[in-house]
Amino acid sequence: MTRIASILALALAATVAAGAGHAASFDCAKAETPTEHAICDNPQLSKLDDQTAGLYYTLISNGSLSPAKVSEVKSAQAKFLKTRDACGANYDCLIDAYTSQIMFLKAEAGEGM
């Protein structure tokens, strides 16, 4: 696991531990794949899923990006989902995929990590 991923994972663990429960950006009752089950079963992964989805939807809907840039972000999100799903239930792989996508989305929004 990369250093950034480790730091992010620790920060999220503290956040999740302080919160009451977790939820993914999709309906966990309908989880079918090993990846979906891993996300629903792990508060850290669920939080990363929520964060990624929130950043993505905010970025493509807030009107700050050109149509070409929105298309680029949508393509990157589709690629991320394929990468994430290829991880199966591999925790480290999922953490790395989410961390990379969150960094990309924040960079596109003009935010730093």
Q: Predicted confidence band at 111 (pLDDT cuts at 50, 70, 90)?
A: confident
pLDDT on residue 81 = 96
pLDDT on residue 3 = 46
> Cβ–Cβ contacts within 10 Å for residue 19, how many?
10
Model pLDDT for residues 7-21, shown as the tens digit of each residue: 444 444 444 433 334
Average pLDDT over residues 66-88: 96
In order, the DSSP letters of 71-109 are HHHHHHHHHHHHHHHHTTT-HHHHHHHHHHHHHHHHHHT
- pTM metric for this prediction: 0.75
Q: Does residue 1 surpass a pLDDT of 70? A: no
Model pLDDT for residues 30-75, shown as the tens digit of each residue: 999 999 999 999 999 999 999 999 999 999 999 999 999 999 999 9
